[in-house]
Amino acid sequence: MIRSRLTAQRLAFLFLLGCFFFNYPLLSVFNRGGDFFGMPPLYAWLMGSWLALIAQMAWVVESRGD
Amino acid sequence: MLQSWVIVLASFFYLGILFAIAWYADRRADTGRSLIANPVVYSLSLGVYCTTWTFYGSVGRAAASGIGFLPIYLGPTLLFALAGFILHKMIRVAKANRITSIADFVASRYGKSQLLGGLVTVIAVVGVIPYIALQLKAVSNSFAILASYPDIIMPAKAGAVPIFQDSALYVAMILAAFTILFGTRHLDATERHEGMVAAIAVESMVKLAAFLAVGIFVVWGMHDGAGDIFAQAAAVPEVARRLTTADSPAAYGTWGTLIFLSLFASLLLPRQFQIAVVENVDESHLRRAVWMFPLYLFLINLFVLPVALAGMLHFPGAGVDADTFVLTLPMAHQQEGLALFVYIGGLSAATGMVIVETIALSTMVCNDLVMPALLRLPMLGLATRADLSGLLLEIRRWAIAVILGLGYLYFRVAGEAYALVSIGLISFAAVAQFAPVVIGGLFWKGGTRDGALAGLAGGFVLWAYTLLLPSFAKSGWLPDGFIAHGLFGIEFLRPQHLFGLTGLDEITHCLVWSLLVNLGAYIGVSLQRVPNLREARQATLFVGGAEAAGIPGWRGSAGVTDLLPLAGRFLGLERAHEAFARHARQRGLRGIEELPPDTRLVNFAETLLAGAIGSASARAMVASVVTEEPLGIDEVMNILDEASQVRAYTRELEQKSLELTRATAELREANARLQQLDRMKDDFISTVTHELRTPLTSIRAFSEMLQEDPKIDLAQRARFLGIIVSEAVRLSRLINQILDLAKLESGRAEWTVTAVDVAEVIREAAESLTVLFAEKHVALDLDACEDGLIVLADRDRLMQVMVNLLSNALKFVPADSGRVRVGLAALCVPEIPLRGQVTPQEVRVSVTDNGPGIQAEDQDVIFDKFRQGAGTADVLTDKPQGTGLGLPISRQIIEYFNGRLWVESTPGAGACFVFALPRQAGDNDASKSTGGVP
């Protein structure tokens, strides 16, 4: 259960952050050729920021303190 | 090795294992040691979101648009970031109300409306059928491709194969049979399927493992890591284009739309709602799922782009469908075992989706569509049948078969026109129509049943017109003229460019119009009226969350003897008996016969039934045995939300303050009146004292002169005595009049009312004054006075008025040339324009003189006490010629007899005093006497 209002709000903040990460205009910054450690920048950015977002969500809900 | 029979055997073996797992989980659940009551299983079972669309289709979409497959998975991630606000609340509400499906949820929210439940069911079934078709297509294709090993041959078009050689038909039949075995073995009161959830969790693991295996094989087996693939891809211009995505506003718009769409789909698809909300064992599991489910999505998408790129590099040209790369890449490298594992992974994805989706849909079809209709048909006599639980299961089985049949039909009709992903998006757009009523229903109390119906219907119609019908048309099933030229050839109605909206892809275009209409109708129609009592109650339950669940739903009562058989008809008597016994134990009673017939029992029975037949039908059934009492004022007050309570308080306060203001105004007015009266009293007393002192002073002065000077001659003495006497007379008259007035004003005067002939009174009064008139040589004219006009009055008082008026007139007319005329008339013609509203029944007496007249501003004043008109004072002595009480007394008398006394005068041309009294019709002997106050 998402017990505290604070946790819910932290998650909602991550929601807004995700909306920003995964959309135009930030997307257009990475939408170009070239490579980033051997990966296309767009792919690297989306997978990287996605994983980071999931990690933060895990940290928010699993940490005990409010 | 990969002959058809091996693949078929492997498929059945896998399905058998799943069935065993489900059976075991059900057994465990029955003994109370649930296998699925842990957050990891919950998170894994949510993986049912990933169907063959993900398993095969993502790679296909990546081959077509690069990273464009990803928004479908970013959306659910974002949804789970909002879990604390949306999902958590939905789960709590659904548990508190025993919600069994999304249709039940919507119907229950808007006042347990059967119509609304039916509409949601229709939309869900129609919307999800393309999605089911997609699974059939994927499974039959993958089977066909695998069976052709070692060659890689794309399967023939579905329509080209005779129906009985079409493997998709057999896939549909097998899946139907399997689902029926899974989902409808017995009827559960809570509509939860523990075995199914366990099997789905296992399937999620299998498909993830299979996809990761392919990914690892492709990246590290076939190539030298992901970097190698990307480097190779960058070298081929055709493939390199997939490393970036289209860089245009429209492309970013589509991207955003897909995120938004998948966010709602991962909540509102019937199977997602079933797994995430209905099958949720414990709401604390959500905490783990918040990150585990997105992580699952991340893992299953990790290798999509590398596999797609590798496939494009490996199979240049259009020979191999990109949707099949996951399968064909291992086959091309002779990895038989891996290929079979991938096929099994795909089968997992398909069966998982089909099982959960059709079970959820069959529950909805049964509870919200078929049962309400059957119960309404009196000829079937269902309402009185003893045991309906068998019938319920039968309906659900048929529903499953029919839904899969429709899925197959869509596959035959339209399946080949689209890639897997595009078909799935049609379904996503359909269930997105639920978003306004579901999300709105959770957070806004103002939504009504009518609004929800209007919004859903409008959105659904536009979805069908802009997305579903074109999909039929593109596959040649409908004439495609209406896509290019619009309905009836009207350009404006082209389904994919509705009202001239161009520049959007078809999904975004559909969403823009359908959600606009949906949201607009939902809110607009809802605002047409306030929610009724039942809607308001459900709104409180849904929006207020579990805290509000204490409000009783029924005001009526029914005993166990009524409710147990009712529940038994739908659940089976044995199960119903068990449930009632459990309820009795919970309440600390020894047996069900001790259960009191109260509201709590009725609520229990309704919730129990709701699990089996849906909340709307349950309400209707329970209503048949419960006589509901009207809501009491307490309940109504509870239902009123906080805001309306505050509103009520405010209104009360406003009313109070208004009353206070009014009371204050009244008090202030009364106070002002009192002060005025007080002032008037003071004025009166000072005036009276002054009036009394004037004659007293002259009496005293002359008496003292007589006393002090005995030598005054006789003539002088006689003159002094004359003055003293006349002043004494004036004094006593004044005192008499004051007493008289006081008596009149306090109402203590005595009246002797008789029928009086007015002319007689006039003559008598004139007679008594003849001497005075003669002394002043004033003519008195009584000519117009004729007998026979009778009024009811006190004769003496009337005489007093007449004398007063005559002597007043005498006072002001000039000596010698003075002339006073008395007129008497009964006015019978209302048209005569007279001031004073004399009516035909009135006797009017006028006393006209040719004196100086009265100034207009004095015409009212002269009737006040002690006030005399200007010019009434003796020019020489400045002594008023009257007491100033005559006219006020006269007016009091006349008004006592319901008459009126007024004056008409033009200054310089004399004055005319008029009084009018109601005429007494009839003869002289109407002489009834009423003593005292009449």
Angle CA(B626)–CA(B627)–CA(B628) in degrees, nearest 5?
100
Instruction: Say how far apart CA B932 and CA B790 lie, in whole Å.
Output: 21
> What is the SS3 assignment for B913?
strand
Rounded percentage of chain B residues whose pLDDT exceeds 70: 84
Both tokens of B184, joined, read 């409808």
For B476-495, what is the mean pLDDT?
69
Residue with tokens 């928010």: A60
User: Which residue has tokens 């059976």?
Assistant: B23
pLDDT at residue B928 tops 70: no
Instruction: Supply the ipTM of this predicted assembly.
Output: 0.94
Q: What is the mean pLDDT of residues B763-784?
A: 83
Residue B407: which residues within 8 A CB-CB, separation 6 or more? Answer: B129, B132, B133, B135, B136, B172
- B74 and A CB contact within 8 Å: yes
Chain B 264-323, CB below 8 Å of chain A: which residues?
Answer: 283-284, 286-288, 290-291, 294-295, 298, 302, 305
Quote the DSSP letter at residue B148.
T
Question: In whole angstroms, what separates CA B593 from the centre of its chain?
Answer: 42
Residue B555 clears pLDDT 60, i.e. is over it: no
B749 φ, ψ to 5°?
-70, 150
Give B631-669 pLDDT, tens digit per residue: 544 444 454 444 455 566 677 888 888 989 999 999 999
Give the model's pLDDT for residue B161: 67
Distance CA B113, CA B456 (A): 14
Phi, psi torsion values for B64, nearest 5 degrees? -90, -35
Under an 8 A CB cutoff, do A18 and B74 touch? Answer: yes
Q: Determine phi and psi for B94, rounding to 5 degrees.
A: -65, -40
Dist CA B920 CA B926 (whole Å): 9
Q: Report the C-alpha gap between B192 and B35 in whole angstroms.
A: 13
Residue B383: its pLDDT value, please?
A: 58
pLDDT at B861 over 90: no
Residue A56 tokens read as: 């933060």
Q: Hey, is B165 helix, strand or coil?
A: helix
| Architecture of the structural domain at B4-423 | Up-down Bundle (1.20)
Q: Which residues of chain A from 23 to 42 reach within 8 Å of chain B, CB to CB?
A: 23-24, 27-28, 31-33, 35, 37-40, 42
> Which two three-digit tokens encode residue B440?
């709105």
Question: With an 8 Å Cβ cutoff, are A28 and B74 in contact?
Answer: no
For residue range B867-907, what is the model confidence (pLDDT) as tens digits? 665 544 443 344 445 667 788 888 888 888 888 888 888 88
Per-residue pLDDT reduced to its tens digit, B110-123: 888 888 889 999 99
pLDDT in tens, B7-59: 888 888 998 898 888 888 888 887 777 778 888 999 999 999 988 888 888 89
Query: Residue B152 and residue B145: Cα distance in Å, rounded?
Result: 7
φ/ψ bin of B866: left (φ > 0), alpha (ψ from -120 to 50), beta (otherwise): left
**Contact predicate B128/B365, CB 8 Å:** no
Say how far apart CA B263 and CA B261 lie, in whole Å: 5
Least confident stretch, B276-290, B844-858, B859-873, B884-898? B859-873
Maximal CA-CA distance, chain A: 45
Where helices occur in B490-598 by DSSP H, the ranges are 506-526, 533-543, 560-571, 573-586
Q: Return the structure tokens found at B87.
A: 């999902």
Distance of alpha carbon B852 from alpha carbon B871, whole angstroms = 8
Nearest to B461 by CA among B436, B441, B433: B433
| CA neighbor of A3 nearest in space, from B43, B88, B282 | B88
Region of residue A37 (left: phi > 0; alpha: psi -120 to 50; beta: else): left
The mean pLDDT value for A16-31 works out to 84
B74–A31 CB contact, under 8 Å: no
The DSSP secondary structure of A11-64, one letter per residue, reads HHHHHHHHHHHTSTTHHHHH-SSS-BTTB-HHHHHHHHHHHHHHHHHHHHHH--
Q: Cα distance from B523 to chain A (closest Cα, Å)? A: 25
Rounded to the nearest 5 degrees, what angle is found at the Cα of B154, between the Cα atoms of B148 and B159? 110
- Across the interface, which of A1, A14, A33 has its CB nearest the CB of B81? A14
Contact B745, B765 (CB under 8 A): no
* B85 interface with A at CB cutoff 8 Å: yes
Which residues does chain B have within 8 Å of residue A18's beta carbon, measured at their own beta carbons? 74, 77-78, 81
Whether the CB of B71 is below 8 Å from some CB of chain A: the reply is: yes
CA distance B449 to A28: 43
- As a whole number, mean pLDDT of residues B551-559 equals 58
Any chain B CB within 8 A of the CB of A2? yes
Among B83, B225, B230, beta carbon nearest to A35: B230
Query: Which of B77, B83, B230 is nearest residue A40 as measured by Cβ atoms?
Result: B230
| B798 pLDDT higher than 90 | no
Write down the mean pLDDT value for chain B: 80
Which candidate from A24, A42, A51 shows the least CB-CB separation from B67? Answer: A42
| Cβ contacts of B863 within 8 Å, gap of 6 or more | B887, B888, B891, B901
Beta-carbon count within 10 A of B379 CB: 5
CB-nearest partner of B247 from A19, A28, A61: A28
Which residue is closest to A24 within chain B, CA to CA?
Answer: B252
Phi, psi of B154 (to 5 degrees): -75, 140
3-state secondary structure at position B919? strand
Band (pLDDT 50/70/90 cuts) for residue B458 is very high
Position with higher pLDDT, A37 vs B772: B772
* B616, B112 contact by CB (below 8 A): yes
> Where along chain B do its domains lie?
4-423, 551-634, 641-749, 751-931
Supply B90's token pair. Answer: 């939905």
Tokens of B468: 């579903």
Q: Which of B159-163, B813-817, B917-921 has the highest mean pLDDT?
A: B813-817
Instruction: Kindly tell me the sign of the dihedral angle through the C-alpha atoms of B363, B364, B370, B375.
Output: positive
- Print burial letters for B28-66: b (CB count within 10 Å at least 16), e (below 16): bbeeeebbbeebebbbbbbbbbbbbbbbbbbbbbbbbbb
Q: Which residue did the predictor score with more confidence, B299 or B140?
A: B299
Residue type for position B596: P
Q: Residues of B numbered 222-251 whose beta carbons fall under 8 angstroms of chain A's beta carbons: which are they?
A: 225-227, 230-231, 234, 240, 243-245, 247, 249
Mean pLDDT of chain A: 81
- Please indicate if any CB of chain B lies within 8 Å of the CB of A52: no
Asked if the model's pLDDT at residue B697 lies above 90, the reply is no
Residue B609, token pair as written in the block:
């039934």
Contact A31 B244 (CB under 8 A): yes
What are the φ and ψ backbone dihedral angles of B116, each rounded to 5 degrees?
A: -65, -45
CA atoms within 13 A on the CB side of B367: 35
Residues B561/B533, Cβ–Cβ less than 8 Å: no
Q: Options 3.30.450.40, 3.20.20.140, 1.10.287.130, 3.40.50.1820; which CATH number does B641-749 get?
A: 1.10.287.130
Distance from CA of B242 to the nearest CA of A (A): 10
To the nearest whole Å, the CA of A6 is away from the closest chain B CA by 10
The fold for domain B751-931 equals Heat Shock Protein 90 (3.30.565)
**SS3 of B788, please?**
coil
Name which of B244, B249, B305 is nearest A33 (Cβ-Cβ). B244
pLDDT band at B486 (very low <50, low <70, confident <90, very high): low
Predicted model pTM: 0.64
Q: How many H helices and E strands in chain B?
A: 38, 8
Question: What is the average pLDDT across B715-742?
Answer: 85
B231 neighbourhood in chain A, CB within 8 Å: 35, 38
Higher per-residue pLDDT: B831 or B920 = B920
Structure tokens at B576: 């119903």
> Which has more pLDDT, B86 or B558?
B86
pLDDT band per the 50, 70, 90 thresholds, residue B547: very low
Asked which of B228-242, B464-478, B515-529, B630-644 is least confident by mean pLDDT, the reply is B630-644
Query: Does the pLDDT at position B152 exceed 50?
Result: yes
Give the model's confidence band at B692: pLDDT under 50 very low, under 70 low, under 90 confident, else very high: confident
Residues B370, B371, B372: CA angle, nearest 5 degrees: 95
Testing the interface with A: which of B42, B74, B305 to mutate, by most A Cβ within 10 A?
B74
Residues linked to residue B844 through DSSP beta bridges, in sequence order: B825, B916
Q: Does B492 touch chain A (CB under 8 A)?
A: no
d(CA B544, CA B536): 11
CA distance B418 to chain A (A): 26
A49 near B CB under 8 A: no
B761's enclosing H/E stretch is: helix B758-768
